[in-house]
A and B are shown apart, each in its own frame.
Chain A
Amino acid sequence: MKRLLLSVALLAGPAAAAEPHPDATRVLSLGGSITEIVYALGEEGRLVGRDMTSSFPPEAQALPDVGYVRQLSPEGVLSVKPDLILAEDGAGPPETVEVLKNAGIAYESIASDWSDTGIRDKIDAVATALGVPEKGQALADKIAQEFSTAETRAKSVTEPRKVMFIMSLQGGRIMASGRQTSANGIIHLAGAQNAFYEFEGYKTVTDEAVLAANPDVILMMDRNAPQANKAANGTDDHAALREQVLAMPAIAATPAGKNGAFVQMDGLFLLGFGPRTGQAALALHDAVYGTE
């Protein structure tokens, strides 16, 4: 899919920067990190709707939800009467996007990339589209500052630690992160190594693979909802989860198990790749290397 998007982009020439729409007063935000950026820019008053993944900040959840970002209903989107749509790339289906563009609604597709420059580009694109480039510059500067602090700290690491991100523990099976994930991205920004590079995405791994990967730290996310935590990990309680994970036979024998190195962080904060990611990288770095 990545390659397809890339090749389409190449055919279309260099990706055009967002057009400014300073007069847009009814903005629909499609994508959790885009919504977060709109709030961080202080432009939330112009929002009239959001997609299913836009759950931070909590106030955003009061906005009408137009559904899953890749399965949008054209009439549902039209019904919130937007005059500007800010969509993460991959929003669709393409037929819906076509209809919306035909309806004369300004549509800005915003690229995502799980890196620090990717976030700054995203902020720049959202701020430009909303016609508030100065605010965007200020936010990007602040975040660049946080990133450079995180980077300095990450560079000070002489022996990088291996972090195993566990997505879920359904039925006691470990689903861990490989390459090409937001978890992999944040682990790198924090100056650590991902325990698994052999595969892409999130996959179930065997106990032996965990032993072979030999992680120094176990990282999990807090889903901010008791039911979601129970569904993914079997418990909503941090202490109980920690004990249970570290006692798993595969993990107990690794350095993480021996040293009790278990970190649990808010999922959106950790993996959202939005304006808070610089802070998240710092927080993860501190949690992994134990520096306060």
Chain B
Amino acid sequence: MVAISTGRMVRIEGDRSARARGLAVLLVGLLIAVSLASLGWGATDTSLSGVLRDLLSGRPISQQDSIVMLQIRLPRLVTGILVGAALAMSGAIMQGLFRNPLADPGLVGVSAGASLGAVAAIVLGGALPASMAAVFGWYLTPVAAFVGSWLCTILLYRIATRRGRTSVATMLLAGIALAAMIGAVTGIIIYKANDAQLRDLTFWGLGSLGGASWPKVTAAAPVILLALLAGPWLARGLNGLALGEAAAAHVGIRVQRVKNAAILTVAGAVGASVAISGGIGFVGIVVPHLLRLVSGPDHRWLLVNSGLLGASLLLLADMISRSVVAPAELPIGIITAVIGGPFFMWVLLRNRGVLDL
């Protein structure tokens, strides 16, 4: 499968970089529009135009408006942009690295490790000594998820690396084995959980931007931003890797460095994202695929555009998640799957000839 898809992704049908550049401008516009909509939209009657009018005319802003804007919608907006961009760009990087259209960040062990950390924190967190519990407080689950994702990625990397060379195929297969083992441990912990913890776990697995807060944003933002800025530097290396590892080395790409950087970037971006927003599926697969269909597989634009579209898409999904059952809210993972699944299927069916898997 890997070899066939390699051939497909490399075949560049004319130069589509002009199209990709135009798309990038369009996507920036989309992100700005969606961000403004997201700030203005919510269960309370606070509106963006109302707050701006107050600001411009120098009237004091009501306490409710300022809380809704500054403590609820703004951290949520920033979280949505960071997480959406991180998931989509990581998906694109993984698909390039593994030269496989089905690759997602889960392949480097991030998701399994994060869920083990979160499950352990939710169920066993109460058994920690009070002094430790007091240090982490509410943030025990995000911290545990982040640490879990990193430990798991490092372990997989060590397994797949021999004499300074990382075998992506070994990493993929070892990832499946490790996920199974972690699944067993997670299962045991879940078995010990009580009803309230089980509900917490289920909701965590479905993801939400609902718990967004400034402390969480400031903790996760440096890691995610660093990864988002580093991502596009991988473009040339990933383009080269599409030729196959040997060919890439011949055209002067330092393959091992690209691999290391890609794994590090994805582990950072996705680990931090999962830690602050739980498990949100489908963004990492749907967004890069869609963009490849529109503007081709050149990573120089694909990575940036994926980040932009991923952010917009997650903000849109979040707006749906907080409006369909208002004043309650539907976990965002349900929305991304409901939109992403059928849409992905439609794209596949339409392009059966083009995307011969």
Binding site for B on A (CB under 8 A): 1-5, 7-8, 10-11, 49, 52, 64-68, 70-80, 90, 93-96, 98-99, 102-104, 180, 200-203
Least distance between A49 CB and chain B CB atoms (Å):
7
**B148 interface residue (CB < 8 Å to A):** no
A1 near B213 with CB under 8 A, answer: no
A11 near B322 with CB under 8 A, answer: no
Which residues of chain B are within 8 angstroms of A3 by Cβ–Cβ distance?
Answer: 126-127
Given A7-B130, A94-B138, A201-B195: A71 touches B210 (CB 8 Å cut-off): yes
Which residues of chain A are within 8 angstroms of B130 by Cβ–Cβ distance?
Answer: 4, 7-8, 10-11
* Bound: A1/B127 CA distance, A: 7
10 contacts between A and B (CB under 8 A): A2-B126, A8-B130, A68-B328, A71-B203, A71-B329, A76-B43, A78-B68, A96-B210, A104-B63, A203-B191
**B44 interface residue (CB < 8 Å to A):** yes
**B42 interface residue (CB < 8 Å to A):** yes
Which residues of chain B are within 8 angstroms of A79 by Cβ–Cβ distance?
Answer: 42-45, 326-327
**B1 interface residue (CB < 8 Å to A):** no
Given A49-B327, A70-B199: A103 touches B63 (CB 8 Å cut-off): yes
A75 near B68 with CB under 8 A, answer: yes
Find the A residue at minimum CB distance from B73: A75
Interface pairs A-B: 4 shortest CB-CB: A67-B328, A76-B327, A79-B43, A7-B130
Which residues of chain B are within 8 angstroms of A74 by Cβ–Cβ distance?
Answer: 71-72, 210
**B159 interface residue (CB < 8 Å to A):** no
Least distance between A186 CB and chain B CB atoms (Å):
16
* Bound: A7/B195 CA distance, A: 21
B195 near A67 with CB under 8 A, answer: no
- Which of B63, B126, B193 has the most C-beta atoms of chain A within 10 angstroms of its own C-beta? B126
A99 near B71 with CB under 8 A, answer: yes
Find the B residue at minimum CB distance from A66: B327
Over the window 62-86 of chain B, the binary record of Cβ atoms lying under 8 Å from chain A Cβ atoms (1 yes, 0 no) is 0110011001110000000000000
Find the B residue at minimum CB distance from A74: B72
Partner of A90, one of B127, B128, B193, B196: B196
Over the window 179-221 of chain B, the binary record of Cβ atoms lying under 8 Å from chain A Cβ atoms (1 yes, 0 no) is 0000000000001011111011001000010111100100000
Given A103-B63, A103-B64: A93 touches B194 (CB 8 Å cut-off): no
Over the window 317-357 of chain B, the binary record of Cβ atoms lying under 8 Å from chain A Cβ atoms (1 yes, 0 no) is 00000100111110100000000000000000000000000
* Bound: A80/B64 CA distance, A: 12
* Bound: A67/B322 CA distance, A: 11
Least distance between A80 CB and chain B CB atoms (Å):
6
Which residues of chain A are within 8 angstroms of B322 by Cβ–Cβ distance?
Answer: 73, 75-76
Which residues of chain B are within 8 angstroms of A96 by Cβ–Cβ distance?
Answer: 210-211
* Bound: A68/B128 CA distance, A: 26
Partner of A102, one of B67, B126, B133, B134: B67
A68 near B327 with CB under 8 A, answer: no
**B244 interface residue (CB < 8 Å to A):** no
Partner of A103, one of B67, B194, B195, B328: B67
Find the B residue at minimum CB distance from A7: B130
Which residues of chain B are within 8 angstroms of A11 by Cβ–Cβ distance?
Answer: 130, 134
Q: In the complex, given contacts A74-B71, A79-B44, what are 7 additional A-B residue pairs having Cβ atoms less than 8 angstroms apart? A: A4-B126, A70-B196, A76-B328, A90-B196, A93-B138, A102-B71, A202-B195
Binding site for A on B (CB under 8 A): 42-45, 63-64, 67-68, 71-73, 125-128, 130, 133-134, 137-138, 191, 193-197, 199-200, 203, 208, 210-213, 216, 322, 325-329, 331
* Bound: A93/B71 CA distance, A: 15
Partner of A65, one of B200, B210, B327: B327
Which residues of chain B are within 8 angstroms of A73 by Cβ–Cβ distance?
Answer: 43, 210, 322, 327-329
Which residues of chain B are within 8 angstroms of A104 by Cβ–Cβ distance?
Answer: 63
* Bound: A78/B46 CA distance, A: 10
Least distance between B72 CB and chain A CB atoms (Å):
5
Which residues of chain A are within 8 angstroms of B329 by Cβ–Cβ distance?
Answer: 67, 71, 73, 76
* Bound: A229/B43 CA distance, A: 34
Least distance between B217 CB and chain A CB atoms (Å):
11
A68 near B199 with CB under 8 A, answer: yes
Which residues of chain A are within 8 angstroms of B210 by Cβ–Cβ distance?
Answer: 71-74, 93, 96
A93 near B196 with CB under 8 A, answer: no
A65 near B328 with CB under 8 A, answer: yes
A70 near B200 with CB under 8 A, answer: yes
* Bound: A8/B136 CA distance, A: 12
* Bound: A1/B212 CA distance, A: 22
Which residues of chain A are within 8 angstroms of B68 by Cβ–Cβ distance?
Answer: 75, 78
A1 near B195 with CB under 8 A, answer: no
Least distance between B295 CB and chain A CB atoms (Å):
36
Least distance between A222 CB and chain B CB atoms (Å):
19
Partner of B216, one of A8, A77, A95: A95
* Bound: A2/B68 CA distance, A: 32
Which residues of chain B are within 8 angstroms of A2 by Cβ–Cβ distance?
Answer: 126
- Which of A90, A94, A95 has the most C-beta atoms of chain B within 10 angstroms of its own C-beta? A95
Partner of B125, one of A1, A72, A98, A103: A1
A95 near B138 with CB under 8 A, answer: yes
* Bound: A52/B329 CA distance, A: 11
Partner of A75, one of B44, B128, B138, B203: B44
Which residues of chain B are within 8 angstroms of A78 by Cβ–Cβ distance?
Answer: 43-44, 64, 67-68, 72
Given A66-B327, A68-B203, A73-B327: A98 touches B197 (CB 8 Å cut-off): no
Find the B residue at minimum CB distance from A167: B195
Which residues of chain B are within 8 angstroms of A75 by Cβ–Cβ distance?
Answer: 42-44, 68, 72-73, 322, 327
Least distance between A159 CB and chain B CB atoms (Å):
31
Which residues of chain A are within 8 angstroms of B71 by Cβ–Cβ distance?
Answer: 74, 99, 102
Least distance between A21 CB and chain B CB atoms (Å):
18
